[in-house]
Structure 1
Amino acid sequence: MQVKVFQFDLPLRHTFTISHESRTVQPTMIIRLRDEQGFEGYGEATVTTYYGVSMAGMLAAVERVRPWLETYAFTEPENFYAELEQRLPDDSFVRCALDMAANDLWARRHGKPLYEMWGLDPAEAPTTSFTIGMAPLPEMVAKLQEKPWPLYKVKLGTDHDLEIMQTLRSHTDAIFRVDANTGWTAQQTIEYAHELKQLGVEFIEQPQKADAWADHRKALAESVLPIIADESCHVEADVARCANHFDGINIKLVKCGGLTPARRMIKEARTLGLKVMMGCMTESSVGISAIAHIAPLLDYVDMDGALLLAKDPAKGVVIDDQAKLHYADLPGTGVVLKSEW
């Protein structure tokens, strides 16, 4: 297979702030795999300083496996991923981009959308939330008013989180979800949950530190709202441990290594009675379109990354102003890179 790497600095519509960083530009790497018949597949992974992921590191990893990729006789994603995992065991972000591209390529070879290859119905995909990042309260209100939406995820972790939610509630009837980004104690979670439930919050995402398992267990037992794991659930091995500490898990493709392991995580979570959410990074339509194709397997999805961009280098699945998904009438994930970037 031929391998081509594209680097983009994705400009954001607004400064995006969570508990550990702020940014106005999101660097991302898009990979294209092309087979001997001319079929292509696209995948993506973002630079993420919080996880120690740099563009230089990702590019170096691609070069390490390039000789193997260029001689690999690709047949189907599972076999490809099994070998890829052995060659890049410690680089889930690059594995994700390559696995995403491999799944896209596989479906394009068959002339079918990726969801159809998996036997899924896109009509069963849940509505995506739209994220309101941390900012001075008037700015958060302005972002909410700028983007009327049926479902918001609000980033919290300040010393006035309840005030934020009370104020936002006065401006919309939309459903809320909150992401505390490890910023609360177990006791805060339990106490806040009562008020948040009254304010129309559906669930709380990762309120405590990733490894605070006793706190997770306490919050699970005493919170009146469901608790969804994020930082506590990165890879397949984490799913079983989360079963007795959370009501559900949030899967990030770059953290688990791609669509192939994500599908296994979803299957295991279902056997353990866990709800399943999939989140995104601030990605282009390459990564977001991949999430959209697996979305019919999910209870909740947060795939608004491309909506947060001022400029997107790709086209694919479109999310309209009513939060409805429109899948491209193309095989694979339907992704096309724009020539005008």
Structure 2
Amino acid sequence: MRNLDIDVVELPLSRPFTISRGTRTSVTVVRVSIEQDGFIGLGECTPTPRYDETPESVVAQLEQIAQEIRAGLSREALQAHLPAGSARNVLDCALWRLESVMAQQSLWQSSDVQQPQSVITAETISLDTLEAMRASALDAYKRGALLLKIKLNGEQIVEKVAAIRSVAPDITLVIDANEAWSGLDLAALFDELTPYDITMIEQPLPAGKDEMLADFDHVIPVCADESCHVSGDIAGLKNRYEFINIKLDKCGGLTEALKMVATAQENQMRLMVGCMLGSSLAMEAALPIAAQSEIIDLDGPIWLAADSAPYLEFRHGQIWI
């Protein structure tokens, strides 16, 4: 028999985090601990209102399956017991860690992914006034950021990008519209953005309403985030997107995320790994996906007033492993 503990933890942010859908000053995460024969596996997830999740709904899902987890439900069997989402993610990652420690292996060894010395991660520039976003970009640039992810809505798009590029002239820039560009002439907008050397634009249109992305050539590659949750979504996105963004809280854990990597490669789709706001405990579980991705956005912990173990090292635009 196993022991299962479930905790809801509120993590204050060090500064407000704003995207096109609103502003947050704290994030509520759900953590689980699974103990078996003296070995412990930990997991963390971030319930997301965009996907109709709350901490209460995730805890309810976990309690519904708690008896099976305590009785020894395997990670493979878990995939059929819960749908993709935060609840399955937190259990899946805890079981990965439990299996690894019981086998005296690292998560890298268990997932059969080569461990790098470091990975470059984006630092997010939160949606704000043009002046504030330029100042944030300059601060990040001076601290050694190598990749900036710019949160935008439908206002002052080109102006804000130009301002950020002016203070960060030689680093990688990606844009995240969070579904906010409905009604815009995207082909013309992409052309206007081309002089600023944008590497990728993430989810410009709402999921399920992104058909027009197939109607023009993308002078800047486009990444599916809200439009892509699990491996079964990937093949149908090829005519609209060049990248997919894999997030453990969307797909339901590392098990499905590894399957998404393989499916994306089969479909010649490029890879990004992303995150919700959360601690290093959540980010560490995504590192085997990061090691196989072109674009990495695992900066959740740097937005927290205080991080949690395993305390990943964020320095000079990279996560040092």
The TM-score, its normalising length taken from structure 2, stands at: 0.93
Distance in 2, Cα, partners of 1:272 & 1:88:
26
Q: Does 2:177 match 1:183?
A: no
Gap runs ≥5 in structure 1: 75-79, 328-341
What is the aligned partner in structure 1 of residue 161 from structure 2?
165
Is 2:96–2:107's contact at 8 Å kept on the other side of the alignment? yes
Distance in 2, Cα, partners of 1:150 & 1:82:
37
TM alignment of 1:1-341, pairs within 5 A: 1-36=2-37, 38-72=38-72, 80-89=74-83, 92-123=85-116, 126-148=119-141, 149-173=145-169, 174-185=171-182, 188-218=185-215, 221-320=216-315, 322-327=316-321
The 1:278/1:68 distance shift into structure 2, 3 A limit, reads same
Q: Between Structure 1 and Structure 2, how many residues are aligned? A: 316
Letter in 2 for 1:34: E
The 1:205/1:186 distance shift into structure 2, 3 A limit, reads farther
- Give identity over the alignment, percent: 30
The 1:186/1:106 distance shift into structure 2, 3 A limit, reads farther
Distance in 1, Cα, partners of 2:311 & 2:99:
17
Q: Residue 240 of structure 1: CA displacement?
A: 0.9
Q: Residue 17 of structure 1: CA displacement?
A: 0.9
Q: Structure 1 segments of 4 or more deviating over 6 A?
A: none
Letter in 1 for 2:212: D
Letter in 1 for 2:173: F
Gap runs ≥5 in structure 2: none
Q: Residue 99 of structure 1: CA displacement?
A: 0.3
Is 2:273–2:289's contact at 8 Å kept on the other side of the alignment? no
Cα RMSD for the two superposed structures: 1.8
Q: Residue 116 of structure 1: CA displacement?
A: 2.2
Distance in 2, Cα, partners of 1:273 & 1:293:
19
Q: Residue 325 of structure 1: CA displacement?
A: 2.5
Is 1:48–1:54's contact at 8 Å kept on the other side of the alignment? yes
Q: Residue 92 of structure 1: CA displacement?
A: 1.8
Distance in 1, Cα, partners of 2:118 & 2:234:
22
Deviation digits for residues 152-180 of structure 1, max 9, x if unmatched?
00011132111101111111122110011
Letter in 2 for 1:176: L
Paired residue secondary structure (2:100): helix
Paired residue secondary structure (1:170): helix
Q: Residue 258 of structure 1: CA displacement?
A: 0.6
Paired residue secondary structure (1:123): coil
